[in-house]
Amino acid sequence: MRILWAPWRMAYIKDAGKSSECIFCRAVRGSDEDNWVIYRSQHSVAMLNIYPYNTAHVMIAPKRHIPRLELLTSEEVLDIHETLTLMIKAIEKEYSPQGYNVGINIGRIAGAGIEEHLHIHVVPRWSGDTNFMPVLAGVKVIPEDLKKTYERLRNCISTLVRSQSLSKHPQKILR
């Protein structure tokens, strides 16, 4: 028998089904570190997917608990788009992927794991990131610890936001 070690999965197994609270609403109300939040804007939150398809898999959700795109206000749409753009810039700078899958699954039949709260997946892609492991063993290998990904993206986003703010408002000094 071959054994594949995935010790981080134990937390998921222990907590599976225990909480009926929406992970996005919990992230909006809770601490960044406890909820893997890498960025907060006026109307949205961006967080790491703790069961990622690839390294730096980010999810962006409106702060309001809504299930569908047409329920977003114009301000929320613009805010989410700006957050999406910032996440792609940060991932680009830190990881240099060769492409992205960006998508929204609306409804369970379309693949939404959390269909009550609209969210966008940003999955960076590299040539060769699908290798023999998923094909032969049904296993995806994530080559970087989630804590390291969190740290890298938060630091990069902070730098990008600071530089954007200074270029828009040169007189403003950020601390």
CATH classification of the domain holding 72: 3.30.428.10
* Residue 10, domain member (yes or no): no
- Give the pLDDT confidence score for residue 175 in this predicted structure: 34
Quick: pLDDT tens for 149-159.
999 999 999 99
CA distance 174 to 9: 39
Which carries the bigger pLDDT value, residue 169 or residue 103?
103
Nearest to 56 by CA among 39, 74, 70: 39
Q: Does residue 83 lie within any of the structural domains? A: yes
Domain contains 9: no
What is the model's pLDDT at position 95? 97
121 pairs with which residues across the strands? 59, 103
pTM for the model: 0.81
Q: What is the mean pLDDT of residues 36-56?
A: 96
Show the domain range for 41: 19-168
Query: Is 174 inside a domain boundary?
Result: no
- Taking only the tens place, the pLDDT of each residue in 1-12 is 555 555 655 665
Determine, yes or no, domain membership for 7: no
Round the CA-based radius of gyration of the chain to a whole number and report it: 17
Structural domain contains residue 175 = no
In this predicted model, what pLDDT tens digit does every residue of 47-85 receive, in sequence order? 999 988 899 999 999 999 999 999 999 999 999 999 999
Per-residue pLDDT of 75-118, as tens digits, reads: 999 999 999 999 999 999 999 999 999 999 988 888 888 989 99
Joined together, the tokens standing for residue 161 give 């936001």
Sorted by sequence, the CB contacts under 8 Å of residue 15 that are 6+ apart come out as none
User: Does residue 58 fall inside a structural domain?
Assistant: yes
- Positions annotated as catalytic residues are 119
Residue 5, domain member (yes or no): no
How many domains are there within the chain? 1
**Owner of token pair 């998921």:** 12
